[in-house]
Structure 1
Amino acid sequence: MPRPLSLHEDRLFPADPGVRAIARRLYGQVKDLPIISPHGHTDPAWFATNAPFSNAAELLLAPDHYLYRMLYSQGVAMDRLAVPSRKGASSADPREAWRLFASNQHLFRGTPSAIWLAHVFSVVFGFDVALEAQTADLYYDRINEQLATETFRPRALFDRFGIEALATTESPHESLDHHAAIRASGWGGNVITAYRPDPVVDCEHEAFAEALGRFGELTGQDVMSWQGYLEAHRIRRAAFAAAGATSTDHGHPTAATADLSPPDAERLFQTIVSGKATPAEAELFRAQMLTEMARMSLDDGLVMQIHPGSFRNHNAQVFARFGRDKGADIPQATDYVRALKPLLDRFGNETDLTVILFTLDETSYARELAPLAGHYPILKLGPAWWFHDSPEGMRRFREQTTETAGFYNTVGFNDDTRAFLSIPARHDVARRVDCAFLARLVSEHRMAEDEAGEVAVDLAYNLPRRAYKLDRKPARELAGAG
């Protein structure tokens, strides 16, 4: 017999009955709040065309590197999992890929993926038996049947999930046509973009030359000159803001910043575009561009996000065959105190600039990030990210940052995902973990329960809206709190 699938109503809450009861009450105030998804990587084409999703494997498995990286670590080839390669779409039979995925569900025990998948299968698709080898075809057929209906088209799911705002991420050389189509469609879903300039900033990116050329074409600027290059950024940032963007995003290898003199910056730029830059010069240019982006954010009001610390594409063979973002990015130690000082010396005391910091290096939470955000007006801490977007990772984040930075130097939660159907699951996990953390503070008489209720609502809803400039009205009216 298949194993049953059910979601326990007290999942992720404390085991102690008294503390659990507090967590339940706090969660009751936030569980139905609208979802604010201010940073992520879903495809805007889904919402522009509203075409049906094709099949279970291509929707749930092939785009989700959290899933296939685990399978790959156990010797399952990615070309058997319907993962697209540099040559294009996979030739794998999607049903066979799904069966392979189903037969390996035990690999995800204890991982956040297991929690997210259980939520998707139970809440979104209505299954009451677990996915395993014997239920693989049942799942595949029933999911495909539902995907063919109107209620499972992208816009219908967006509305069903209660998403108030969702940001995708595009680069300066990319068209914003899908966002234009969304706005012209008459659909009320708030899908916006975010400005990710990495391909035209990082000369070590394999698409740098091509992206730079397209960047110049789109803006009509001479992007081989320093002033023309900077003006091209201003032009594209304005176009992104017109498409709804409220933020930029920077995925650099480190958090290094620089504040070169204009002549030195121009000389460095000429070395970069010559194709002769050393790794140290490439790093210095990325560092300088973070400061330039901060300067532009002061002018145009876009919130700045910095996501450093990933050794991208660590597996050279996977990168060669499958390209970027295929589960082979590895966290590395990251310095913030010295790395950010040039930018902070220039802009750290501004009150009209927001820089949201993320990390993959948990050792920096209490030592560097919380003290920095607890002092500099421009700095806020992004939530536990990527490898730490998990119940334990979220708990560690709160435990190590709250005493120094408080709750209000953080920005709530963002899901940062390509897996559209997992968005409500991820936000539910974050809300449950935060309520559990707050319940402990209440049980230890460190905070009154009404205060904890206000904080829970702020973390789930008000803080991300405010930090990413999406706020319209206080959420406590929606939550019935405070």
Structure 2
Amino acid sequence: MADMTTLATARPLALDPDRLLPVEPRTREIARRLYAAVAGLPIISPHGHVPPQWLAEDVAFSDPTSLLVSPDHYVFRLLHARGVALDELGVGGRPLTAAESRRAWHLLAQHWPAFRGTPSRFWMDSVLADVFGVTERLAPESADAIYDRVAEAIAAPDFRPRALMERFGIDILATTDDPVDDLHHHRTLRDDGFRRRVVPTFRPDRYLEPARADFADLMTDLSRASGVDTGTYRGYLAALEERRRFFKANGAVSSDHSHADVVTLTLDENEAARIYDAALRGVVCSGDATAFRRHMLVEMARMSTEDGLVMTLHPGVHRNHHSPTLERFGPDTGHDIPTTVEFTRGLQPLLDRFGTAEGFQLILFTLDETVLSREIAPLAGFYPSVYAGAPWWFLDAPEAVRRFRGAVTETAGFYRTSGFIDDTRAFLSIPARHDMSRRLDSGYLAQLVAEHRLDEDEALETVIDLVSTIPRKAFKL
């Protein structure tokens, strides 16, 4: 490996053991004790986007850029905001040559000051130091040596995905999967006897949006995968039910839904059938399509009461905000932007039917912080089925996590929340993200102890539950 000590002009990368813990000395001492109890506990990751193929085939990572930059929205979107072209970073799936990969890494180093104060800086520093043993801060003068160190490391067998999952202590990892996926990667992991648990997640969004131009083609795919004729509305429901059963039989514990809103309603069966038929013929109007999607969220809840899959909602995102980027690079390329969202009135029809149904569990996530204390916490504080989802996506940053605890705990407590959700494609950052959460929760609980609002033994039990018991209960693990 490259000798990091030769970089005389580079500055040291040193991770302070008290990072993110409270500054006040007495509170910090309490937080240290709490954090020490959870720092080494196994990671439970019940919602994320790591490709299951990586683990099933135990693929070797090709180069530092494609591992740490190209798949990480947080990193490449901020570089784009600084004027770096996405194709220079390997975004959109085009493989980079060795020279291009190194050039992209230099661009990251050149623009590294842009990440000051961001969670990406915290996570990347943690990955470089803890995973790769880097001792110098990323900068133009240290870029080549760090690149070489990472490149040499990932060529070794102990940096393959399965070995890293073991090293990171990830007990459970959920992927996100299309309803027609045959889940062969998950079966490979199961049949191989891999010790860690990797489970699929049923993500039916595309199949609930009848305004899509490809809706009829999707129904053909759904029919082929389920073995059920989707030519009628009843057949469509039966096909979705069959695929959910298939996913559950292959380890799934939840279904995930991300639409523009979470408004729900129930259509008469004849009306739903009329809209579905129009969608198959490509003549559905936008109002009917929206009503159908809102109706189908209720149907998804009904199916959850029958098959036991936890229902998670991730609404309020304007997908693919920049049309030229979408056309050139495709979806999921950094230009999804949060919008406002409303839960109380929108979910009332769904919760009227299933809010107290035995076995039904609904986890609510948001990118709109204004609804945490006003809507999500009160809903979770009444309905036995509702849990407040952890800060997600743009909100999984230190200050937002602290705000989340303050906004939700006073109304719903700790035990009506989901536990931390890393929600990432950036596999190597999973430990850093969970470590961030554990430090912040230790600090929050330490403050309660210091203010004599909680005894330390209660805080200790709670911080451990936040890492282990609470996510297992919320996701039926």
Deviation of the 1:206 alpha carbon: 5.9
Whether 2:32 is the aligned partner of 1:15: answer: no
**For the Cα contact (< 8 Å) 2:418–2:474, is it kept in 1?**
yes
Aligned length: 468
How do 1:316-335 residues align onto structure 2 when only pairs under 5 Å count? Answer: 316-335=323-342
One of 377, 389, 398 as aligned partner of 2:405: 398
Are the aligned partners of 1:199 and 1:207 in contact in 2 as well (CA < 8 Å)?
A: no
Give the superposition deviation at 1:280.
2.3
Which runs of 5 or more structure 1 residues have no equivalent in the other structure? 471-482
Deviation at 1:170, TM superposition (A): 0.2
For the pair 1:339 / 2:346, whether they are aligned, the reply is yes
C-alpha contact (below 8 Å) 2:202/2:244 kept by paired residues: yes
Partner of 1:66: 74
Q: CA deviation at 1:58?
A: 0.7
The answer to whether the aligner puts 1:384 opposite 2:369 as a matched pair is no
CA-to-partner distance for each residue in 1:113-154, whole Å, 9 max, x for gaps? 000001100000000101111111111111111111111000
In 1: Cα distance, 2:284 partner to 2:152 partner: 53
1:76 counterpart (78, 84, 89): 84
Cα deviation, residue 272, structure 1: 2.6
Amino acid at match of 1:252: H
1:296-445 alignment to 2 at 5 Å?
Answer: 296-445=303-452
| 1:441-468, Cα deviation, whole Å (9 max, x unpaired) | 1111111110011110111111101111
1:260 aligns with 2:267: yes
Q: TM-score when scaled to structure 2?
A: 0.96
Query: How is 1:160-309 mapped onto 2 (pairs within 5 angstroms)?
Result: 160-205=167-212, 208-309=215-316
Q: C-alpha displacement at 1:82, in angstroms?
A: 1.4
Aligned to 1:149: 156
User: Does the CA contact (< 8 Å) of 2:179 and 2:202 recur in 1?
Assistant: yes
Is the Cα–Cα contact under 8 Å of residues 84 and 90 in structure 1 kept in the other structure?
no
Cα 1:79–1:270 shift into 2, 3 Å: same
CA displacement, residues 348-388 of structure 1 (integer Å, 9 cap, x when unaligned) = 12231000000011000111111111111111111001000
**Aligned residues of 2:129 and 2:135 also touching (Cα < 8 A):** yes
Does the Cα contact within 8 Å between 1:173 and 1:211 map onto a contact in 2? no
**Does the CA-based 8 Å contact 1:202-1:282 persist in structure 2?**
yes
CA contact (8 A) 1:81 1:101 kept: no
Task: Report the aligned-residue RMSD.
Answer: 1.3
Instruction: Select the residue among 11, 23, 35 that pairs with 2:43.
Output: 35
Aligned partners of 2:213 and 2:282 also within 8 Å = no
SS at match of 1:93: helix
8 Å contact from structure 2 (residues 47, 174) kept in 1: yes
Note the residue ranges of structure 2 that are not aligned, 5 or more in a row: 1-8
Q: Deviations over 1:63-99 (max 9, x none)?
A: 11110100111111101111125xx545681111111
Tell me the SS of whatever aligns to 1:351: coil
Distance 1:428 1:443 in 2: 22
Q: Residues 211 and 279 of structure 2 are in contact (CA less than 8 Å); yes or no, is this contact kept in structure 1? A: no
> Counterpart of 2:219 in 1: which secondary structure?
helix
Mapped to 1, the partners of 2:267 and 2:307 lie a distance apart of: 22
SS in structure 2 at match of 1:129: coil
Q: TM-score, normalised by structure 1?
A: 0.95
Percent of paired sites with the same residue: 49
* Cα shift readout 1:376-406 (whole Å, capped 9, x = no counterpart): 1111111001000000111111101111111
Give the SS at the match of 1:248: strand
Partner of 2:165: 158
Answering whether residue 114 of structure 2 is matched by residue 107 of structure 1, we say yes
1:28 offset after TM fit, Å? 0.9
